Structure 1
């Protein structure tokens, strides 16, 4: 009776699932008893594992895409940086070359001015070209900075061109002036009579000598003292064979007592060009050249102009 009551109060036996494994026909069949909660646990674990695998794969794929994107961006930035660095180096080199050329132009300009005797004060001194690009500016304002610098260089070069054109005009005018001024001794020999008052070689009276007399042997070469146009070539009384050259700028020169005139009226002559042979024609005491320089029609001392 007591055993029956105990059996009545015993816990009921749990249900299980039997898993039968049949390896092959020669081996023993194996059985495994599994509780009912095991299969759902295995299935749930598989689902969780699958979800984790998918999520992990997605994260890995996203990271790989971002890494590839970053890599491409870095590569692109490296290429841009290389190109900009190359451009910067090229622009700097070009600016240095331009500055050297401008400096050379300044030196040439001053040399030309010194040669022709022009003052250098009227020539505007351009500011030194500065074209330094820092690495910090390379990424932020490289384009605008170089654009401003190039514009500055272009303006500077144009200004320098205008200055040089103006200089060339001034130099050409000055060279024409230097070539025209009758400042060359027209013949070799000794000065036998100076400019100014003197005792007349043909008497005892005083007279004003409007030029200088250069004595030498007959047939000595007579050169144009400056470039110009022959306004007279012929025989003129006491002056004998005479040549008058208009040099412009108010200057004329006179060559008298020539043995022979070698140029005609209207001829254009250059400085140092042979124009006559020394003689003693007209009123003369011997072979010599009577040489006059007139400025705006007034005789001036040739020795004050001749170098």
Structure 2
């Protein structure tokens, strides 16, 4: 039986911010090339689906290639409305109209010559009800942030903390790339958003309601400002993402993959990256998000 181990090179520490595609490895039985789908979506943003081929890691001549001749459709399951995506470049398929809506189930269908038809289903859930965001200053560098989630829905939550200022404005750019979604979240590993208490470094939860507390190290208002008479306004945000179960599972397995030992060693075990793609690899999943300013 074929067994694939997802090799996500962009997640190897120093490459987090530069990678643009996932490198899926198929361990040899009888190798069969598959379509790799790379798509996350959120309400109000245009559909963007990236398609590439998988590669045979045991063959030095095998390489990842964009798929540029596919028929790509997204069907809203309640109404049956089908949106046909157009190819632009480098295996990207998009359409500027009929963006996804919250709490609607969508099915992706990909047909390409030489491959089995690929299907996947997911949705972008309604936003979780996040309330009572309270911050307390622990010291001049550390802020403790408390927030609550209320309601009866089963929420799959992922969050991180972001700082923004005149030289580093808040970036909410969306491009539908699963890799950018992940690297945008793990900014908490960077110096500017470092979680000061590593024993509380979790930034995800499955919950209907609950309270959460995190200590966060964010830039001080006068950081890198030699003129102490001028205060640089730094705003701090809690970014809350309510993910589909598919996207949540994908994110959690990415974290496990990053935390694992040397992936290139034959003596190490690399956790498999979650995929909801039938007859293929990759991810098709939705989420909603909001930014809550931390006062």
Q: Structure 1 length as normaliser, TM-score?
A: 0.17
By relative contact order (CA 8 Å, sep 6+), the higher-ranking structure is 2
Q: Structure 2 length as normaliser, TM-score?
A: 0.17
Structure showing the higher strand proportion among its residues: 2
Structure showing the higher helix proportion among its residues: 1
